[in-house]
Amino acid sequence: MKTATSAGTGAPTVIVSRSIENSTPAIRIESLGKEYIIGRRQSRQTFREMLVSVLGAPMQRLRRLRGKVDEEERFWALKEVSFEVQPGEVVGVIGRNGAGKSTLLKILCRITEPTTGRVKVRGRVASLLEVGTGFHPELTGRENIYLNGAILGMARTEIAGKFDDIVAFAEIERFLDTPVKRYSSGMYVRLAFAVAAHLESEVLLVDEVLAVGDAEFQRKCIGKMSDVAQSGRTVLFVSHNMAAVRRLCHRGIVIESGRVREDRNVESAIASYMSGVDSGMEGDIQPQVDGSRPQFARITLSSTAVNFGDTLIINAALVSPIEVSVAVEVEIHDEKGIPLIYTSTAPMGDALIEVSAGLEKNVRLAVGPLNLASGVYHMYFWLIKPGAEIFHVIREPIRFRIDLSDPEASGFDFKQSYGRGACYTSIRVIDIGEQ
């Protein structure tokens, strides 16, 4: 009998009681490493690029020849990663962007090979790295269910047996014979998630898929995920959504610069991760823009340290391939990752921001007054069409700090670390009497 670590929040302790002699781990990772060579690659992409670099920058080449810059810059995305996951465990993998989480998942589902070390996985592996992998826009919903299922490794009979469940889960009955290119992005994601979620496997690898779709569907996804988690399957769940990690996982692994920094129960792992991210306070984020949909091109805080009651000024650059009307939503979470504040530029869908095709729209936003305790906060940004579509979610938080929180100017500093909450509101004595 093996007992998995229990979460500190009173979540039930999971007893994994597979057959007694069968205590081999579901996943065993032994000093795994993945090295990428960066820098050299670009010069080999096309012959023309090579020509351009030869003709256009001879000086640079000369400098490079003289200075002997190491062209083969080596970069270890993962280094000496070792851990085991027992059958039935639900493990959250957390870490900043670029920490190596996705590389780890890519190795586990055999998309890329490790450079060193090895992994042993028992049973069938299903991965939800990106929903809708292999969907073909010209094919109908029905055809895509079979196509996607086959790509994920399901036998035709297996898909046929689950077909009705998939369709019902995705809520696309009426559009089953419509090409998916005519689907709304919500329908598309629902269908894609439904197919992947119905694949029966011992090991499930999930990467950030829950951050898509509308709120209703996200709830449904989390529900499905907890069903999976409770059904005794092994789950490795990568996310920036600490609330989801806390809810689904019992154990948390923090990955930092390609190494395992923390491996313990989920609460301590989240706390450790949150304290780790606080050390770097940039207040500036530049997501990769691929031009496929309306996106944030840049978000900058005018200041990352403010005081109680101040208003935070945010500069956001928006881009879009087509003309759209959008709204920006902001979430503020405390240092434990608990959501505290929600706000939107257009809660009722009015006063939308117009973004023209191909032009960068700069928006200045003022959030506040922030009646918050001193400490660190995480901000998340959503670019949406209210009630219709989510275009872009920044999952890597922007951090800011409340330096001083003295709401009543009485010399008292209200701190998050007191554990008494993070929001302050005034309280007044309006009547006093004696009997």
User: Rounded distance, CA 180 to CA 85, Å?
Assistant: 37
**Residue of 2, 18, 122, 395 that binds another protein (CB under 8 A):** 122
Strands 203-207 and 234-238: parallel
**Angstrom distances, CA of residue 55 to CA of 41, 50, 60, 64, 67:** 18, 9, 10, 15, 19
DSSP 291-303: SSS-EEEEEEES-
**Exactly one of 85, 90, 125, 245 binds another protein (CB under 8 A); which one?**
125
- CA distances (Å), origin 364, targets 139, 180, 345, 353, 360: 42, 37, 11, 11, 13
The CA distance from 407 to 87, in Å, is 50
Does residue 211 touch another protein according to CB under 8 A?
no
Q: Are 281 and 401 in contact (CB under 8 A)?
A: yes
Q: Which is nearer to another protein, 103 or 345 (CB)?
A: 103
Does residue 133 bind another protein (CB under 8 A)?
A: yes
Q: Is 15 in the site for another protein (CB under 8 A)?
A: no
Q: What is 29-78 written as a DSSP string?
A: EEEEEEEEEESTGGGGS-HHHHHHHHHH-HHHHHHHHHHT--SSEEEEEE
Transcribe 125-139 into DSSP letters: EEEESSTTTT--TTS
- Write down the least CB distance from residue 240 to another protein, Å: 19
Q: Which positions from 232 through 261 interact with another protein, judged by CB under 8 A?
A: none
- From 44-52, 253-261, 271-279, 398-406, give the range in contact with another protein by CB under 8 A: 44-52
Q: Which range of residues in 125-133, 291-299, 379-387, 401-409 is near another protein by CB under 8 A? A: 125-133
The answer to the question of residue 106 lying near another protein (CB under 8 A) is: yes
| Binding window for another protein (CB under 8 A); candidates: 117-125, 291-299, 322-330, 338-346 | 117-125
Stretch of 109-117, 213-221, 253-261, 267-275 lying at the interface with another protein (CB under 8 A): 109-117
Closest CA to 196 of 235, 148, 147, 125: 148
Under rule CB under 8 A, residue 163 binds another protein: no
Site for another protein in 262-321 (CB under 8 A): none
Under the binding rule (CB under 8 A), the answer on residue 129 touching another protein is yes
| Contact call for residue 195 and another protein (CB under 8 A) | no
Q: Which residues bind another protein (CB under 8 A)?
A: 36, 41, 44-47, 106-125, 127, 129-130, 133-134, 136, 138-139, 143, 146-147, 150-153, 155-156, 179, 201-202
